[in-house]
Amino acid sequence: MPKKIITFFNREFNGINEAALLLGGFALLSQILGLIRDRILASYIGPGPVLDIYYAAFRIPDFLYISIASLASVTVLLPFLINKVKEDDNNHNAKEFLNNVFSAYIFFMIISCIIIAILMPYLASYIAPGFSESQISSLIMTSRIMLLSPIFIGFSNLIGSVTQLFKNFFVFSLSPIFYNLGILFGILYLYPIFGVYGLAYGVIIGAVMHLCIQIPSVINHGLFPKLIFKIKWKEIIEVMKLSLPRTLALSCNSLAFIVLISMASTLKQGSISLFTFSYNLQSVPVGIIGISYSVAAFPVLAKAFSANDMDKFINSILGTARQIIFWSLPIIALIVVLRAQIVRVILGSNAFSWADTRLTAASIALFIISLVSQSLVLLFVRGYYAASNTRKPLFVNIFSSFMVIIFALLILQTFKYYPNVLNLLEIILRVKNVSGTIMLSLPIAYALGSLMNFFLIWYLFKKDYLKNSRLLLIKTFTESFIGALTMGIFAYISLNFFSTIFTLDSFIGILSQGFISGIIGIIFGLFVLYILKNNELLSVTKALTNKFWRKNVVVPEQTEL
């Protein structure tokens, strides 16, 4: 039986829809655990000083992980490993390569963590300038504890290249699940004992579990890396050259987020928590749709471009873009209409008040507007990567990250000096008389930055690769928009109708109202799409009837990266 399970997760699949649906399933499982984590944090602790410290403390370790650990990510190392394994039957060259990368990684990461730990008292005032002295003190200690997490998770991702190389997909997919389980342990069992430091200890436990789940598989293949002192720096530089554009792009995003958190710290207590909760919620559809489809499309795009089959390259890009639009627009409509019910069901209990629910719901409505743009950017960036063009997406991302900060500053000042503008937004989003609405400037800035990112990269991508092809996205957008609008209208009508039937001060009542209203909206929306003979609906239906879960799973080999 265990052999059958492992075999199931080590198979190979073809077709972007099937691959995306399967990858989306794994992403969904991980996201569900993340939502459970957020619900427990919201209900046990609630938005306020403790959670603000906890989320602010994540920023520097996250940035460190992105700027150093991502230099040795699976995406970068896997092509090297595939070549090394082909060179000899005993995997000697692969072992030497892993030892080399591991030793360099440990050297840079530990030195960086020590330096950051020493500098934390100076950095803390920039991360959270609005914190009190006692909060700053707790932030420093919490961040120092969390500095261990990028060491373990970075090492886990490094050896993850081995589990991917040998197609141990199931083991690799379990890592983020175990990471969340460790955090949950910290919330439930360590927070009552150690307070906010207990939450940090939970993160470290999760990071260790993220690593440990993969170790047996790597040892079994005889490729567990060892620490060496004679590092071949030429080889390390080759790896860094390949990974640097992607790392710089991710680092810019992380820096922009640090600035937004810094701004939130100057607002009402709990603003960091509410902003992070809403960001995490909007990340669920981005992960399931944008990441799944772009990852599934990447091997096809890389293979088509390397074979100079531009028709296939263009058709794959446009076909995947249509699927992303098809899924994203209805989700935007449903989340905007059902936002309060979604937030209340996922987060709302005990310490998470109705005012917190309304403000988080308004925030997620602003975030989710950019769902299509965020997801399409992931696709076009991978399109550029498949074409071995990393500079343009890097420059676009740097500029867009900078503009997120500019937008945040401008909107924040506009709300402060022109309160009527904020009052209008409060009326539209139904958060009138809720304290702390000025924090809505942050998700607006993030959404505008995402939209700018999309329009810039779309303009460049179209100019570079789609200038001689017919643009086939307008029809999909129009049909999906009509379907989404239908879903939103019927969900809204149903929501008002069921508000007189279900008791809205109970979990079951809110869940029932939101769930049934959503289902009714989806039914009418699908009916409209069926009447319109929407090609994307037919494509998804075909993928489901082909039993995609029985498809084989494989990580793309070097020619497909």
- Residue 379 exposure: Cα atoms within 13 Å on the Cβ side: 32
Q: What percent of the chain has pLDDT over 90?
A: 47
Residue 411: is its pLDDT beyond 90?
Answer: yes
Q: Residues near 193 by Cβ (< 8 Å), separated by ≥ 6? A: none
Backbone angles phi, psi at 224, to 5 degrees: -75, 125
Q: What is the largest CA-CA distance in the chain?
A: 73
Please compute the mean of the pLDDT values over residues 462-481 and round it to a whole number: 79
Report the amino acid identity of residue 7. T
Does residue 231 surpass a pLDDT of 90?
Answer: no
What percentage of residues in the chain have a pLDDT greater than 70? 87
Nearest to 196 by CA among 267, 123, 273: 273
pLDDT at 383: 87
Q: Minimal CA–CA distance to 202: which of 413, 410, 31, 41? A: 41
Give how far Cα 98 sits from Cα of 28, 107, 173, Å. Answer: 31, 14, 21
The whole-number pLDDT of residue 557 equals 31
Six-digit token pair at 350?
A: 């005990």
Rg (alpha carbons) of the chain, rounded to whole number: 24
3-state helix, strand, coil split of the chain in percent (to 5) is 80, 0, 15
> What pLDDT, in 10s, does the model give residues 368-410?
999 999 999 999 988 888 887 878 888 999 999 999 999 999 9
pLDDT score, position 542? 72
DSSP 467: T
232: left (phi over 0), alpha (psi -120 to 50) or beta: beta
Q: What is the DSSP string of 118-179?
A: HHHHHHHHHH-TT--HHHHHHHHHHHHHHTHHHHHHHHHHHHHHHHHHTT-HHHHHHHHHHH
pLDDT in tens, 77-125: 766 777 777 666 677 777 888 888 888 888 889 999 999 999 999 999 9
Quote the tokens at residue 225: 């890396």
Q: What is the pLDDT of residue 517?
A: 93
> Can you name the residues that pair with 552 across neighbouring β-strands?
12
CB 522 within 8 A of CB 487: yes
The residue ranking higher by pLDDT, 78 or 525, is: 525
Q: Is the pLDDT of residue 284 over 60?
A: yes
pLDDT band at 555 (very low <50, low <70, confident <90, very high): very low
Highest mean pLDDT among 73-87, 420-434, 465-479: 420-434
Buried b (16+ CB within 10 A) or exposed e, 470-492: eeebeebeebbebbbebbbebbb
Q: Please check whether residue 484 is in contact with residue 330, taking contact to mean a CB–CB distance below 8 angstroms.
A: yes
Tens digits of residue pLDDT in 292-311 = 788 778 777 877 887 888 88
- Single out the residue of 108, 100, 72 nearest to residue 230, CA to CA: 100
Q: What pLDDT does residue 306 have?
A: 76
Rounded-to-integer distance, Cα 378 and Cα 290, Å: 6
Q: Among 423-437, 471-485, 519-533, which is the least confidently predicted range?
A: 471-485
- Residue 522 has what pLDDT? 93
> What is the predicted pLDDT for the residue at 3?
52
How far lies 198's CA from each of 97, 161, 192, in Å? 37, 31, 8
Predicted confidence at residue 547, as pLDDT, reads 53
The answer to whether residue 334 scores a pLDDT higher than 90 is yes
Q: Phi, psi (5° rounding) for residue 12?
A: -115, 140
Which residues are CB-contacts of 46 (< 8 A; sequence separation ≥ 6)?
Answer: 270, 273, 350, 351, 352, 353, 356
552 phi/psi in degrees, rounded to 5: -75, 155
12: three-class secondary structure by DSSP: strand
Q: Using CA atoms, how far apart are residues 285 and 241, in angstroms rounded to an integer?
A: 32
pTM: 0.87
CA-wise closest residue to 326 among 280, 279, 371: 371
Mean pLDDT computed over 174-193: 90
Element (H, E) at 404: helix 391-417
Q: CA 215, 216, 219 angle in degrees (round to 5)?
A: 85
Cβ 448 vs Cβ 407: under 8 Å: yes
d(CA 341, CA 492): 12
* Residue 552 three-state SS: strand
Query: Would you give the end-to-end CA distance of the chain in angstroms?
Result: 33
**Sign of the Cα pseudo-torsion (363, 366, 370, 372, in order):** positive
Mean pLDDT across the chain: 84
Average pLDDT over residues 121-133: 93
Q: What is the pLDDT of residue 11?
A: 46
How does pLDDT run across 189-226, given as a tens digit for each residue? 999 999 999 999 999 999 999 989 888 888 887 888 88
pLDDT digits (tens, 9 = 90+) for 26-81: 666 777 888 889 999 998 898 999 999 999 999 999 998 888 877 666 666 766 77
CB-based burial label for 7 (10 Å; 0-12, 13-18, 19+): exposed
Indicate whether 13 pLDDT > 70: no
